[in-house]
Structure 1
Amino acid sequence: MDAPRTHTATRSPLQLAARITGIVFLLVGVLGFIPGITSNVDQLALAGHQSDAMLLGIFEVSILHNIVHLLFGIAGLAMSRTWTGARNFLIGGGIVYLLFWLYGLMVPHDSSANFVPFNTADNWLHLFLGLGMVGLGLALSRRHAATSRY
């Protein structure tokens, strides 16, 4: 009898980065619902700037905000299964977060247009997260493109 074969899929650094990013998004989405990690969970609103729940006491969150994190996490895990998907997740998701940053800068925090909601800490996080995701996507995909030409 032949010994059973085990298949170990090797993920590229790009896929690994997308997978880890997805896991972090999932974790943040779940933590946004946990009392103690999120203060004022009893005041967690569906959406809007009226939500007084604060993840880690810093980032304003709502049910919608947490769901966005969960959906990004699911997308990251699903898209990390392929090299192209991982690249698209990191670069495309990073661009989305840069758009969130711009939106957060333009919309007053006490406005009904601030429906996710975002506060100043969220805006800074979105800037760094967007730059980091795009940077990872570009840097890690360049290495693959350079080695796959030969």
Structure 2
Amino acid sequence: MSAPKYMAVQGAAVIVATTLTAIGLLGFIPGVTTNLDQLTWLGQRSDAMLFGVFAVSALQNILHLLIGAAGYFLARSYAGARAYLLVGGAVYLALWLYGIFVEHGSRAHVLPLNGADQWLHMGLGAVMVLLAVTLAGQHDPTKRRSRMRTAT
């Protein structure tokens, strides 16, 4: 019986990477992002809204694209995919906490965040960590094969 070429955790990482890449791209498309002419690089003054709901800036869009690209790269291996989901989830949970604890209007608030962004970051972070933990029940097939070889 041969092991699957790709593990479920790798598939989950690709799905998350695709979602984040799409979000990053859509943040630059007129019509999908309202008030695109008011998109700022960073800061709270950006009035651009993805789907008319999520506050976005050029920095946020680029970060989503970079995190998505990292997901494609890391999904090539079981360990990389797991690390991507776990660390990426922790980053989004930290961003959620940043939005809660950094006073709106202060100079430390460099990203335009609203309530919808907060829910998205919390949900995305939780789902990514949950995927990393629950799909960890599958064992890396390359390690299993090497153990089996040394036992024989």
Superposition TM-score, scaled by structure 1 size: 0.88
Is 1:71 aligned with 2:66?
Answer: yes
In the TM superposition, structure 1's runs of 4+ consecutive aligned residues that sit over 2 Å from their partners are 108-112
Is 1:86 aligned with 2:106?
Answer: no
Query: In the aligned structure 1, how far is the partner of 2:97 from the partner of 2:132?
Result: 20
Partner of 2:28: 33
Q: Give the letter aligned to residue 105 of structure 1.
A: I
* Aligned Cα root-mean-square deviation (Å): 1.8
Percent identical residues: 49
Query: In the aligned structure 2, how far is the partner of 1:135 from the partner of 1:79?
Result: 18
Superposition TM-score, scaled by structure 2 size: 0.87
Map 1:52-63 → 2, pairs under 5 A = 52-63=47-58
How many Å apart are 1:127 and its aligned residue?
A: 0.7
Partner of 1:3: none
Do the aligned partners of 1:47 and 1:115 also contact (CA within 8 Å) in 2? Answer: yes
Aligned residue-pair number: 141
Mark the runs of 5 or more structure 2 residues left unpaired by the alignment: none
Once the two structures are superposed, residues 72-128 of structure 1 have per-residue CA deviations (whole angstroms, 9 ceiling, x without a partner) of 100100000000000000011000110000000012333322212221111111111
How many Å apart are 1:10 and its aligned residue?
A: 2.5
Do the aligned partners of 1:49 and 1:112 also contact (CA within 8 Å) in 2? Answer: no
Do the aligned partners of 1:40 and 1:54 also contact (CA within 8 Å) in 2? Answer: yes
Partner of 2:122: 127
Once the two structures are superposed, residues 47-93 of structure 1 have per-residue CA deviations (whole angstroms, 9 ceiling, x without a partner) of 00000000011110000010110011001000000000000000110
Partner of 1:137: 132
How many Å apart are 1:141 and its aligned residue?
A: 1.1
Is 1:49 aligned with 2:59?
Answer: no
Mark the runs of 5 or more structure 1 residues left unpaired by the alignment: 1-8
Larger deviation, residues 105-114 vs 127-136: 105-114
